[in-house]
Structure 1
């Protein structure tokens, strides 16, 4: 595969300068997100035929770091070594820890002072924001953690895109979204316009651009395989605070309420009202888990006018009261 990969590469691509990457792994980081960030660099080197992208895995103390699935990853160095990179990434954990880590903040600020571009993968942008290094910058984070980023920091401009590039700040959401960010960065280097495409070809992946947004998980839970039904679920997800009537949703779609009911029953085996309630309750659970918002605020944010009504519906859905569920989750992390 290496011989096939190298031939037919434009001559200018072999003149690419070396770019160095540092990836700081925080305990409970996402292993798939790290792989999605590192493998495009490895493949690009293979395509070009030499190391144009050099990368090191780092930890706070130079020791192994356990990923969120328990797999321990060896690192190449400690951040105490003070090595400076062209691009310094932090691969954040899931969930975001309650207590900060001043050592990580110091390292990020050190890299910034030395002229490094800075990046955050998965929840890495949380650490950049905490260090004050995203003030006035567009950034993104995994959709589950958007609320905590918005709750704790007012100066970053947070989007729902797969990745964001704003000047010398590179952030991506979790999962395999770092692949999209890295392919974009690879394709931007002078003489490497086609390199990103070759990387995608070898990884059997398709190009997803900056304009793509993180797909809301609630629609994936529903498993809709129907364009209008997908749109209906999207409308519901976008209107959890001030809810719409089923008739209003049907009107937006240009169909009758009865037709909408049939689609939901046929595909999801539930009524539109039941699906809408489930979406709001899942959103409420996300807020309870990921933020410190009081119960009254969670209710208001998900379209419930009464905490009593909310608690009743919540317990029927999840078999636990809202506050018991929050405590159970927090005790487990």
Structure 2
């Protein structure tokens, strides 16, 4: 594990922090601000290309720092305590500051974090987020008017709490001074892009080959497989209907519009769904809505009534009945650890 960490973050580094070198005229300096429960996979996937670019290219071209909210080591979602070099206010001049979170959502992050992010933003610096760190940028008010990537599991929460924002379900996104990544292995793709843009194509290729990456994925790559592998059909009408339902599930006329988008009859669409998915379009829509509702109940403080409305149900009783049938528990009592196995 130690070999994967930046040199300055290996055990013992905090006992004697060396004087900081003069700021480089070229290269890349990144600060990773770790939140409790952060995604260790994403952090390691992002650090390794950066480490290799620094080792294989001119030394000092790439520098990384791990920071926390209180200068203490941070526990990852995987149970690994990560040592850090300080907090965000100790190192405010990185080329890019990324807040790294995980699956969980902090309902209210410390003002020290959101305030520091706003100061960096006002100073014209680049800021960003990885996985659950996106909520720090949302609470800081930085994401308005920007295109940004968010993990697909966080999309319903963002839509419910910040309806004016427009996240995209891609691997990563770079929109002016906002840099965001959905997490996981996608962080390696973002790091390779940052190396390419800041250090050069040669350094990016060296790091890419050393990581055994045959080709980095672009920022518009979707997080999920296309409809064809999931439905095991290449029928274009089926693809268009599924995509419409998944993107517009809360709309009252969702199924009617899905038929229109599919370019076929309602009867033919019913047949396609039965053949390829084993369910009717209404059942597929219900499953999408209930999964969104489950995510909102697990990750927000929204009331059951508000969750029902966000999922397209005007009658809370209908939502509660369907939710109980699907997950074996009333939505008012739902916990991620209490649902039926396989739910």
Per-residue CA deviation, residues 123-159 of structure 1 (Å, 9 max, x unaligned), is 2232123223334433232222234334444775533
Q: Which runs of 4+ in 1 moved over 6 A?
A: 245-248
* The one of 227, 234, 238 aligned to 1:227: 234
Per-residue CA deviation, residues 258-289 of structure 1 (Å, 9 max, x unaligned), is 66556545554444433332122112222333
Going from structure 1 to structure 2, the CA distance change for 1:255 and 1:151 (only over 3 Å counts) comes to closer
Separation in structure 2 between the aligned mates of residue 151 and residue 262 of structure 1, nearest angstrom: 34
The residue aligned with 2:125 is 116
Q: How many residues align?
A: 312
Per-residue CA deviation, residues 82-107 of structure 1 (Å, 9 max, x unaligned), is 45322211112432212321222243
RMSD between aligned alpha carbons?
3.4
Query: What secondary structure does 1:84 align onto?
Result: coil
Separation in structure 2 between the aligned mates of residue 267 and residue 199 of structure 1, nearest angstrom: 42
Using the TM superposition, name which of 120-129 and 251-260 deviates more: 251-260
Q: Does 1:196 align with 2:204?
A: yes
Going from structure 1 to structure 2, the CA distance change for 1:98 and 1:245 (only over 3 Å counts) comes to closer
* The one of 2, 21, 35 aligned to 2:44: 35
Cα displacement (A) at 1:42: 1.7
Q: Does 1:17 align with 2:26?
A: yes
| Structure 1: gaps spanning 5 or more residues | 1-14
Q: Does 1:318 align with 2:331?
A: no
Separation in structure 1 between the aligned mates of residue 77 and residue 336 of structure 2, nearest angstrom: 21
Query: What secondary structure does 1:75 align onto?
Result: coil
The residue aligned with 1:164 is 173
Q: TM-score, normalised by structure 2?
A: 0.76
Query: What secondary structure does 1:36 align onto?
Result: helix
Separation in structure 1 between the aligned mates of residue 173 and residue 55 of structure 2, nearest angstrom: 26
Cα displacement (A) at 1:71: 1.9
Going from structure 1 to structure 2, the CA distance change for 1:203 and 1:263 (only over 3 Å counts) comes to farther
| Structure 2: gaps spanning 5 or more residues | 1-23, 339-343
Cα displacement (A) at 1:317: 0.6
Going from structure 1 to structure 2, the CA distance change for 1:145 and 1:216 (only over 3 Å counts) comes to farther
Separation in structure 2 between the aligned mates of residue 136 and residue 303 of structure 1, nearest angstrom: 26
The residue aligned with 1:8 is none
Cα displacement (A) at 1:188: 1.7
